[in-house]
Structures are given as C-alpha cells and as structure tokens.
Amino acid sequence: MKEYELTVLIHPDLEADLETPLAKVRDIVTSAGGKIVREDNWGKKKLQYAIKREEFAVYVYIDVELPADAPLKISNTFNITDEVLRYLLVKVDPKGRAALAEQAKKAAEKSSDDTKEEA
C-alpha cells in the first residue's frame, strides 16, 4: 500500500452537518481498500474562483494508504458525488516528507536553544 494525500472540497451548504459528507468520503476510501491514517478539517474558505457557482468550500485534508488500483476507483466515484466540489489525490513523496520532518526538527532544536540562552 502506498501513501497518498487527499484534499477534498465539500459543498459549503453541508457545513452544518459536515459529518454526513465526511462519512461518505471515508466510505469511498475504505470501500476501495484504503485506510485513513489522519484527517484534518481546515474549515470553510473562500475559493479563488467559483466552482459550480459556489464561492466557498469546506476543505478537508486526509492522509490515506491505498492499494494500486484504488486511486482510479476513488477518482471515478468523486467525479459523480454531489457533496464533493473538487478533490486532489496525490502520492506522497517520501523524500519530501522526510525533508519536512528534518526541517521541523531543526526548527524545534533552534527554538529550544534560544529558550535556554534567554534563561
């Protein structure tokens, strides 16, 4: 199974009961044989341009692990799902993720060093 990042833009009218469309997204991922690792709701944001006459969307970011044939199944299902305005499914670059982790580690070490010097 490979790691993917899935960003879903959910219709803004569904913000009041967000759990229903999110459950549908989760079901699509798991029925394709995937596993949800992490989920992060970024909230309602203004779109750069209108999509299906909507100016806003609820952004949800999900880390998933998928088998080789799952991305095509997920894409085909999202294309006909009314709750999802847009989606982006990309494969995770392990080198990029490791570089970000290393950068965060260095930043944490630097901030702890700065704190020690002030004391």
Sign of CA dihedral 41, 57, 90, 25: positive
pTM (two decimals) = 0.80
Q: Would residue 117 count as lying in a domain? A: no
User: How far apart (Å, rounded) are the C-alpha atoms in residues 70 and 15?
Assistant: 27
**What average pLDDT does the structure give for the chain?**
89
Cα angle 115, 118, 119 (rounded to 5 degrees) comes to 90
Question: What value does the mean pLDDT take over residues 76-84?
Answer: 91
Helix, strand, coil share of the chain (percent; to 5): 45, 40, 20
Residue 45 sits in which domain range?
2-92
User: How far apart (Å, rounded) are the C-alpha atoms in residues 21 and 15?
Assistant: 9
CATH code of 25's domain: 3.30.70.60
Question: What value does the mean pLDDT take over residues 77-84?
Answer: 91
Q: Would residue 105 count as lying in a domain? A: no
Q: Would residue 31 count as lying in a domain? A: yes
Q: Would residue 10 count as lying in a domain? A: yes
Q: What three-state secondary structure class fits 93? A: coil
Length of the chain: 119
Into how many domains does the chain fold?
Answer: 1
pLDDT, residue 116, reads 64
User: How far apart (Å, rounded) are the C-alpha atoms in residues 69 and 18?
Assistant: 28
pLDDT, residue 60, reads 95
Question: What value does the mean pLDDT take over residues 37-64?
Answer: 94
Q: Would residue 72 count as lying in a domain? A: yes
pLDDT tens digits, 5-50: 999 999 999 888 899 999 999 999 999 999 999 999 999 999 999 9
